[in-house]
Amino acid sequence: MTIMERIREKARRSLKRIVLPEGDEARTVRAAAICAAEGLAEPILLGEEDKIRAAAEKTGTDLTGLRMINPAQSPRLEAYADLLYELRRAKGLSREEAGRLAADPMYYGMLTVKTGDADGLVSGAVHTTGDMLRPALQIIKTKPGIHIVSSSFLMSCRNPDLGENGLLVYADCVVVPCPTAEELAEIAVSAAETARVLCGIEEPRVALLSFSTKGSARHELVDKVRRATEIAHGLAPELILDGEMQFDAALVPEVGALKAPGSPVAGRANVLIFPDLQSGNIGYKITQRIGGAECFAVLQGLASPCNDLSRGCSVEDIVNTVALTAVQAGA
Ligand code: ACO
Protein backbone atom coordinates (compact mmCIF):
# COMPACT_ATOMS: atom_id res chain seq x y z
CA MET A 1 0.00 0.00 0.00
CA THR A 2 1.39 3.45 -0.88
CA ILE A 3 1.57 6.25 1.67
CA MET A 4 -1.34 8.03 -0.03
CA GLU A 5 -3.50 4.89 -0.04
CA ARG A 6 -2.89 4.60 3.70
CA ILE A 7 -3.73 8.27 4.25
CA ARG A 8 -6.93 8.00 2.23
CA GLU A 9 -7.94 4.92 4.22
CA LYS A 10 -7.32 6.80 7.47
CA ALA A 11 -9.33 9.79 6.24
CA ARG A 12 -12.31 7.54 5.49
CA ARG A 13 -12.44 6.36 9.11
CA SER A 14 -13.47 9.80 10.43
CA LEU A 15 -15.42 11.91 8.00
CA LYS A 16 -14.07 15.46 8.54
CA ARG A 17 -15.60 18.69 7.25
CA ILE A 18 -13.04 20.35 4.99
CA VAL A 19 -13.76 23.84 3.71
CA LEU A 20 -12.62 24.83 0.21
CA PRO A 21 -12.52 28.64 -0.20
CA GLU A 22 -11.86 28.37 -3.93
CA GLY A 23 -15.23 26.65 -4.35
CA ASP A 24 -15.95 28.04 -7.81
CA GLU A 25 -12.68 26.80 -9.31
CA ALA A 26 -13.19 23.89 -11.72
CA ARG A 27 -10.51 21.48 -10.37
CA THR A 28 -11.64 22.19 -6.81
CA VAL A 29 -15.29 21.43 -7.59
CA ARG A 30 -14.31 18.18 -9.29
CA ALA A 31 -12.05 17.21 -6.37
CA ALA A 32 -14.81 17.98 -3.86
CA ALA A 33 -17.20 15.65 -5.67
CA ILE A 34 -14.57 12.87 -5.66
CA CYS A 35 -13.84 13.37 -1.94
CA ALA A 36 -17.55 13.15 -1.14
CA ALA A 37 -18.14 10.14 -3.40
CA GLU A 38 -15.16 8.26 -1.94
CA GLY A 39 -16.05 9.20 1.65
CA LEU A 40 -12.69 10.92 2.23
CA ALA A 41 -14.24 14.05 3.73
CA GLU A 42 -17.34 16.19 3.80
CA PRO A 43 -16.27 19.09 1.56
CA ILE A 44 -17.77 22.56 1.92
CA LEU A 45 -17.51 24.70 -1.23
CA LEU A 46 -17.39 28.47 -0.69
CA GLY A 47 -18.51 30.84 -3.41
CA GLU A 48 -21.51 32.10 -5.33
CA GLU A 49 -23.79 29.20 -6.19
CA ASP A 50 -24.11 30.23 -9.86
CA LYS A 51 -20.34 30.24 -10.28
CA ILE A 52 -19.94 26.90 -8.48
CA ARG A 53 -22.62 25.38 -10.74
CA ALA A 54 -20.91 26.80 -13.84
CA ALA A 55 -17.57 25.27 -12.74
CA ALA A 56 -19.32 21.95 -12.13
CA GLU A 57 -20.91 22.02 -15.55
CA LYS A 58 -17.53 22.66 -17.18
CA THR A 59 -16.13 19.47 -15.66
CA GLY A 60 -19.30 17.38 -15.85
CA THR A 61 -19.48 17.23 -12.05
CA ASP A 62 -22.61 16.19 -10.17
CA LEU A 63 -23.08 18.52 -7.17
CA THR A 64 -25.76 16.40 -5.47
CA GLY A 65 -25.15 16.29 -1.72
CA LEU A 66 -22.28 18.81 -1.77
CA ARG A 67 -22.51 21.68 0.72
CA MET A 68 -22.17 25.16 -0.77
CA ILE A 69 -21.98 28.43 1.16
CA ASN A 70 -21.95 31.92 -0.29
CA PRO A 71 -20.01 33.87 2.38
CA ALA A 72 -21.54 37.22 1.38
CA GLN A 73 -25.06 35.91 2.07
CA SER A 74 -24.31 33.61 4.98
CA PRO A 75 -26.30 34.03 8.21
CA ARG A 76 -22.97 33.43 10.04
CA LEU A 77 -21.27 36.42 8.37
CA GLU A 78 -21.92 38.98 11.11
CA ALA A 79 -20.77 36.61 13.88
CA TYR A 80 -17.64 35.79 11.89
CA ALA A 81 -16.95 39.50 11.30
CA ASP A 82 -17.30 40.14 15.06
CA LEU A 83 -14.85 37.33 15.78
CA LEU A 84 -12.37 38.62 13.21
CA TYR A 85 -12.64 42.10 14.70
CA GLU A 86 -11.94 40.70 18.20
CA LEU A 87 -8.94 38.74 16.91
CA ARG A 88 -7.37 41.62 14.99
CA ARG A 89 -8.55 44.89 16.60
CA ALA A 90 -5.33 45.18 18.59
CA LYS A 91 -3.52 45.10 15.23
CA GLY A 92 -5.57 48.06 14.02
CA LEU A 93 -8.36 46.26 12.12
CA SER A 94 -11.60 48.29 12.14
CA ARG A 95 -15.05 46.65 12.49
CA GLU A 96 -15.91 47.87 9.00
CA GLU A 97 -12.81 46.29 7.49
CA ALA A 98 -13.49 43.07 9.46
CA GLY A 99 -16.96 42.93 7.88
CA ARG A 100 -15.49 43.31 4.41
CA LEU A 101 -12.74 40.74 5.00
CA ALA A 102 -15.06 38.17 6.58
CA ALA A 103 -17.08 38.06 3.35
CA ASP A 104 -13.93 37.11 1.43
CA PRO A 105 -14.02 33.31 0.94
CA MET A 106 -10.43 32.84 2.20
CA TYR A 107 -11.11 34.71 5.46
CA TYR A 108 -14.60 33.22 5.76
CA GLY A 109 -13.06 29.76 5.37
CA MET A 110 -10.48 30.42 8.08
CA LEU A 111 -13.23 31.69 10.40
CA THR A 112 -15.29 28.55 9.67
CA VAL A 113 -12.35 26.48 10.95
CA LYS A 114 -11.65 28.84 13.87
CA THR A 115 -15.23 28.50 15.13
CA GLY A 116 -15.27 24.72 14.69
CA ASP A 117 -17.88 24.94 11.90
CA ALA A 118 -15.34 23.02 9.80
CA ASP A 119 -12.41 20.79 10.76
CA GLY A 120 -9.84 21.95 8.21
CA LEU A 121 -9.22 24.00 5.08
CA VAL A 122 -7.56 23.43 1.69
CA SER A 123 -6.77 26.23 -0.72
CA GLY A 124 -4.13 27.38 -3.19
CA ALA A 125 -5.34 26.32 -6.65
CA VAL A 126 -5.84 30.06 -7.29
CA HIS A 127 -4.22 31.91 -4.38
CA THR A 128 -0.48 32.13 -3.66
CA THR A 129 1.07 30.51 -0.58
CA GLY A 130 1.37 33.88 1.12
CA ASP A 131 -2.31 34.79 0.42
CA MET A 132 -3.39 31.64 2.19
CA LEU A 133 -0.78 31.60 4.95
CA ARG A 134 -1.26 35.13 6.22
CA PRO A 135 -4.95 34.74 7.21
CA ALA A 136 -4.15 31.27 8.62
CA LEU A 137 -1.45 32.77 10.84
CA GLN A 138 -3.68 35.67 11.86
CA ILE A 139 -6.86 33.69 12.56
CA ILE A 140 -6.13 30.02 13.21
CA LYS A 141 -2.80 30.72 14.95
CA THR A 142 -0.49 28.11 16.42
CA LYS A 143 -1.13 25.02 18.54
CA PRO A 144 -0.61 25.40 22.28
CA GLY A 145 3.11 25.19 23.05
CA ILE A 146 4.10 25.87 19.42
CA HIS A 147 5.15 29.33 18.26
CA ILE A 148 6.03 28.74 14.63
CA VAL A 149 4.03 27.42 11.70
CA SER A 150 6.12 25.49 9.22
CA SER A 151 5.71 22.69 6.68
CA SER A 152 6.68 19.08 6.14
CA PHE A 153 7.01 17.24 2.86
CA LEU A 154 6.33 13.52 2.83
CA MET A 155 8.84 12.19 0.33
CA SER A 156 8.08 8.75 -1.03
CA CYS A 157 11.40 7.61 -2.53
CA ARG A 158 12.05 4.82 -4.99
CA ASN A 159 14.77 3.31 -2.80
CA PRO A 160 13.10 1.37 0.04
CA ASP A 161 16.38 1.37 2.01
CA LEU A 162 16.08 5.10 2.66
CA GLY A 163 14.37 6.40 5.80
CA GLU A 164 11.28 4.43 6.78
CA ASN A 165 10.83 1.92 3.96
CA GLY A 166 11.57 4.65 1.43
CA LEU A 167 9.59 7.34 3.22
CA LEU A 168 11.30 10.53 4.42
CA VAL A 169 9.87 13.65 6.02
CA TYR A 170 11.54 16.95 5.02
CA ALA A 171 11.05 20.24 6.91
CA ASP A 172 10.73 23.17 6.44
CA CYS A 173 10.39 23.59 2.68
CA VAL A 174 7.67 26.26 2.42
CA VAL A 175 7.21 28.73 5.25
CA VAL A 176 10.07 30.09 7.41
CA PRO A 177 12.79 31.75 5.32
CA CYS A 178 15.49 32.14 8.01
CA PRO A 179 14.59 30.24 11.18
CA THR A 180 16.33 31.07 14.45
CA ALA A 181 17.79 28.19 16.48
CA GLU A 182 14.62 28.21 18.62
CA GLU A 183 12.40 28.10 15.52
CA LEU A 184 14.49 25.33 13.95
CA ALA A 185 14.08 23.29 17.14
CA GLU A 186 10.29 23.71 17.01
CA ILE A 187 10.27 22.77 13.32
CA ALA A 188 12.10 19.55 14.25
CA VAL A 189 9.56 18.69 16.96
CA SER A 190 6.60 19.49 14.67
CA ALA A 191 8.05 17.40 11.82
CA ALA A 192 8.44 14.41 14.13
CA GLU A 193 4.77 14.80 15.07
CA THR A 194 3.80 14.98 11.38
CA ALA A 195 5.82 11.80 10.73
CA ARG A 196 3.84 10.03 13.47
CA VAL A 197 0.40 11.34 12.52
CA LEU A 198 0.54 11.16 8.72
CA CYS A 199 3.15 8.52 7.97
CA GLY A 200 2.46 6.22 10.92
CA ILE A 201 6.18 6.33 11.77
CA GLU A 202 6.24 5.12 15.36
CA GLU A 203 9.90 6.02 15.93
CA PRO A 204 10.80 9.29 14.21
CA ARG A 205 14.60 9.65 14.00
CA VAL A 206 15.28 13.30 13.39
CA ALA A 207 18.48 14.68 11.83
CA LEU A 208 19.22 18.41 11.89
CA LEU A 209 21.14 18.97 8.67
CA SER A 210 24.15 21.13 7.95
CA PHE A 211 27.27 21.19 5.78
CA SER A 212 29.13 19.88 8.82
CA THR A 213 28.90 16.63 10.79
CA LYS A 214 29.65 16.80 14.52
CA GLY A 215 32.11 19.67 14.32
CA SER A 216 33.82 18.76 11.04
CA ALA A 217 33.46 22.41 9.99
CA ARG A 218 33.39 25.62 12.00
CA HIS A 219 30.96 28.37 11.13
CA GLU A 220 28.24 30.37 12.84
CA LEU A 221 25.64 28.60 10.65
CA VAL A 222 26.86 25.27 12.02
CA ASP A 223 26.68 26.66 15.57
CA LYS A 224 23.04 27.58 14.96
CA VAL A 225 22.12 24.03 13.95
CA ARG A 226 23.98 22.65 16.96
CA ARG A 227 22.14 25.06 19.26
CA ALA A 228 18.82 24.11 17.65
CA THR A 229 19.58 20.43 18.35
CA GLU A 230 20.16 21.19 22.04
CA ILE A 231 16.96 23.23 22.28
CA ALA A 232 14.96 20.49 20.55
CA HIS A 233 16.32 17.95 23.05
CA GLY A 234 14.97 20.19 25.81
CA LEU A 235 11.58 20.58 24.12
CA ALA A 236 11.12 16.85 23.47
CA PRO A 237 13.55 14.81 25.60
CA GLU A 238 11.97 11.53 24.47
CA LEU A 239 12.55 12.25 20.78
CA ILE A 240 15.40 10.47 18.96
CA LEU A 241 17.16 13.46 17.46
CA ASP A 242 20.72 14.42 16.55
CA GLY A 243 22.73 17.09 14.74
CA GLU A 244 24.47 18.77 13.23
CA MET A 245 25.04 16.35 10.39
CA GLN A 246 25.41 16.25 6.62
CA PHE A 247 22.75 14.77 4.36
CA ASP A 248 24.79 11.64 3.59
CA ALA A 249 25.71 11.12 7.24
CA ALA A 250 22.01 11.23 8.09
CA LEU A 251 20.93 8.72 5.45
CA VAL A 252 23.76 6.34 4.56
CA PRO A 253 24.63 3.83 7.33
CA GLU A 254 28.34 3.54 6.38
CA VAL A 255 28.81 7.32 6.21
CA GLY A 256 26.86 7.83 9.43
CA ALA A 257 28.98 5.24 11.26
CA LEU A 258 32.16 6.90 9.99
CA LYS A 259 31.27 10.53 10.59
CA ALA A 260 29.00 10.29 13.65
CA PRO A 261 29.83 7.03 15.45
CA GLY A 262 27.39 6.22 18.25
CA SER A 263 24.70 8.60 16.95
CA PRO A 264 21.17 7.16 17.36
CA VAL A 265 20.16 8.93 14.14
CA ALA A 266 23.12 8.98 11.74
CA GLY A 267 22.67 6.57 8.84
CA ARG A 268 19.03 5.83 9.75
CA ALA A 269 17.24 9.18 9.86
CA ASN A 270 13.65 9.28 8.64
CA VAL A 271 12.98 12.98 9.40
CA LEU A 272 15.35 15.57 7.89
CA ILE A 273 15.40 19.17 9.13
CA PHE A 274 16.92 21.67 6.70
CA PRO A 275 18.70 24.68 8.17
CA ASP A 276 16.69 27.25 6.19
CA LEU A 277 14.03 27.64 3.53
CA GLN A 278 16.44 27.91 0.60
CA SER A 279 18.06 24.54 1.35
CA GLY A 280 14.71 22.91 2.24
CA ASN A 281 12.88 24.10 -0.83
CA ILE A 282 15.77 23.25 -3.17
CA GLY A 283 16.30 19.92 -1.39
CA TYR A 284 12.74 18.69 -1.84
CA LYS A 285 12.72 19.71 -5.51
CA ILE A 286 15.99 17.84 -6.18
CA THR A 287 14.59 14.74 -4.48
CA GLN A 288 11.41 15.03 -6.54
CA ARG A 289 12.83 15.98 -9.95
CA ILE A 290 16.13 14.10 -10.01
CA GLY A 291 15.43 11.41 -7.44
CA GLY A 292 11.96 10.66 -8.80
CA ALA A 293 10.29 10.80 -5.38
CA GLU A 294 6.57 11.48 -5.03
CA CYS A 295 5.92 14.26 -2.56
CA PHE A 296 3.01 15.53 -0.51
CA ALA A 297 3.12 18.78 1.46
CA VAL A 298 1.39 19.82 4.67
CA LEU A 299 1.54 22.77 7.02
CA GLN A 300 2.27 21.95 10.66
CA GLY A 301 2.01 23.88 13.92
CA LEU A 302 -1.41 25.46 13.21
CA ALA A 303 -4.10 25.00 15.86
CA SER A 304 -6.34 23.44 13.16
CA PRO A 305 -5.13 22.07 9.84
CA CYS A 306 -5.04 24.33 6.77
CA ASN A 307 -3.13 23.24 3.72
CA ASP A 308 -1.84 24.91 0.62
CA LEU A 309 -1.88 23.70 -2.99
CA SER A 310 0.34 24.60 -5.87
CA ARG A 311 -1.46 26.73 -8.46
CA GLY A 312 -0.49 24.10 -11.02
CA CYS A 313 -2.19 21.35 -8.98
CA SER A 314 -4.23 18.55 -10.52
CA VAL A 315 -7.62 17.33 -9.31
CA GLU A 316 -5.82 14.37 -7.73
CA ASP A 317 -3.45 16.70 -5.85
CA ILE A 318 -6.47 18.46 -4.33
CA VAL A 319 -8.11 15.16 -3.36
CA ASN A 320 -4.84 14.03 -1.72
CA THR A 321 -4.48 17.31 0.18
CA VAL A 322 -8.06 17.07 1.42
CA ALA A 323 -7.30 13.55 2.68
CA LEU A 324 -4.09 14.72 4.41
CA THR A 325 -5.98 17.61 6.02
CA ALA A 326 -8.72 15.26 7.22
CA VAL A 327 -6.16 12.96 8.84
CA GLN A 328 -4.45 15.91 10.53
CA ALA A 329 -7.85 17.06 11.80
CA GLY A 330 -8.52 13.63 13.27
CA ALA A 331 -5.18 13.45 15.11
N1 ACO B 1 4.49 30.97 12.34
C2 ACO B 1 3.66 31.62 13.17
N3 ACO B 1 3.32 32.91 13.02
C4 ACO B 1 3.88 33.57 11.98
C5 ACO B 1 4.78 32.98 11.09
C6 ACO B 1 5.09 31.62 11.30
N7 ACO B 1 5.89 30.94 10.49
N8 ACO B 1 5.16 33.91 10.16
C9 ACO B 1 4.51 35.04 10.47
N10 ACO B 1 3.74 34.84 11.57
C11 ACO B 1 2.80 35.76 12.18
C12 ACO B 1 3.38 37.11 12.48
O13 ACO B 1 3.91 37.13 13.77
C14 ACO B 1 2.16 37.99 12.33
O15 ACO B 1 1.36 37.90 13.47
P16 ACO B 1 0.53 39.17 13.95
O17 ACO B 1 0.00 39.86 12.72
O18 ACO B 1 -0.54 38.59 14.81
O19 ACO B 1 1.52 40.03 14.66
C20 ACO B 1 1.37 37.34 11.22
O21 ACO B 1 1.77 35.98 11.22
C22 ACO B 1 1.59 37.93 9.86
O23 ACO B 1 2.98 38.07 9.72
P24 ACO B 1 3.67 39.02 8.67
O25 ACO B 1 5.08 39.21 9.10
O26 ACO B 1 2.82 40.20 8.42
O27 ACO B 1 3.57 38.12 7.42
P28 ACO B 1 4.64 37.95 6.36
O29 ACO B 1 4.43 39.02 5.36
O30 ACO B 1 6.00 37.77 6.93
O31 ACO B 1 4.21 36.56 5.75
C32 ACO B 1 4.64 34.31 5.37
C33 ACO B 1 4.38 35.37 6.43
C34 ACO B 1 3.54 34.39 4.32
C35 ACO B 1 4.59 32.94 5.98
C36 ACO B 1 6.06 34.59 4.78
O37 ACO B 1 7.02 34.18 5.72
C38 ACO B 1 6.33 33.90 3.49
O39 ACO B 1 5.96 34.44 2.45
N40 ACO B 1 7.01 32.71 3.52
C41 ACO B 1 7.44 32.04 2.32
C42 ACO B 1 6.27 31.43 1.56
C43 ACO B 1 6.72 30.98 0.21
O44 ACO B 1 6.65 31.73 -0.74
N45 ACO B 1 7.21 29.72 0.15
C46 ACO B 1 7.87 29.14 -0.97
C47 ACO B 1 6.98 28.71 -2.10
S48 ACO B 1 5.91 27.39 -1.78
C49 ACO B 1 6.53 25.97 -2.55
O50 ACO B 1 7.56 25.94 -3.11
C51 ACO B 1 5.74 24.71 -2.42
Q: Tell me: the pLDDT tens digits for 17-63?
A: 999 999 999 999 999 999 999 999 999 999 999 999 999 999 899 99
Question: Which three-class secondary structure state does DSSP give residue 233?
Answer: helix
Partners of residue 123 on adjacent β-strands: 308
Query: Do 327 and 197 meet the contact criterion of CB atoms below 8 Å apart?
Result: yes
pLDDT at 197: 94
Between strands 150-156 and 294-300, the pairing is antiparallel
Residue 218 beta carbon below 6 angstroms from any ligand 1 atom: no
Task: Mark the ranges of the chain whose per-residue pLDDT is less than 50.
Answer: none
Same CATH fold, 150-296 and 3-141+303-330? yes
Exposure string of 189-228, with b = 16+ CB inside 10 Å and e = fewer, is bbbbbbbbbbbebeebbbbbbbbbbbeeeeeeebebbbbb
pTM of the model: 0.95
pLDDT at 93: 97
| Rounded Cα gap, residues 109 and 117, in angstroms | 9
* Ligand 1 atom with minimal separation from the 128 CA: 44
- Residue 43 Cα to ligand 1 middle (Å): 26
pLDDT at 1: 87
**Phi-psi label, residue 153: left if phi above 0, alpha if psi -120 to 50, beta otherwise:** beta
Residue nearest to atom 40 of ligand 1 (CA): 175
| Rounded Cα gap, residues 201 and 195, in angstroms | 6
Using the 8-state DSSP alphabet, how is residue 164 labeled? B
pLDDT at 100: 97
| Rounded Cα gap, residues 289 and 45, in angstroms | 33
pLDDT at 208: 98
Residue 130 beta carbon below 6 angstroms from any ligand 1 atom: yes
Residue 289 beta carbon below 6 angstroms from any ligand 1 atom: no
For the chain, the average pLDDT equals 96
Query: Do 308 and 124 meet the contact criterion of CB atoms below 8 Å apart?
Result: yes
Between helix 95-102 and helix 77-88 the angle, nearest 10°, is: 130
- The CATH T-level fold of domain 3-141+303-330 is Rossmann fold (3.40.50)
pLDDT at 167: 97
| CATH, range 150-296 | 3.40.50.10750
Domain spans of the chain, in order of start: 3-141+303-330, 150-296
